[in-house]
Amino acid sequence: MLEEKLDALAQMMTEHMARPFPSGFRGLDFAGQDMVLLDADAYGYAAGVREGTLSERHRAGLTRLTSVFAKVLPAIDDEYAAEYYTHVRDMAVLAAEIESLREK
């Protein structure tokens, strides 16, 4: 099951890299969150999970990051950007699920 989730995460990361960043979202903040950093952080945590178990500090960061999406997503009124960041959130959530599986 872990390998299947890792494969799914790899696929999501590939899909993410193939999508253009939403135009007009560079330098924007939603709910106090820089949108470029949100994107980069989510991808970075996902990449870290693919490489192995995260440190405690990184696990805490990933948990914090997944909760940020609950504030940010409702504030996005651009259809493409909402889809883009929903995918980013799903990628971060899957990375957190994988980390939870590894802790067991």
Which pLDDT tens digit goes with each residue over 73-83?
999 999 999 99
Look up residue 89 and give its amino acid.
Answer: R
pLDDT beyond 90 at 14: yes
What's the average model confidence in pLDDT over 92-98? 97
Q: Taking residues 19-33, report their average pLDDT.
A: 92
Q: How many CA atoms lie within 13 A of 68 on its CB side?
A: 22
Q: What is the mean pLDDT of residues 23-29?
A: 92
Answer yes or no: are the C-beta atoms of 70 and 89 closer than 8 Å: no
Domain boundaries, the chain: 2-103
Give the separation between CA 19 and CA 32, rounded to whole angstroms: 24
pTM: 0.93
Residue with tokens 């903040």: 29
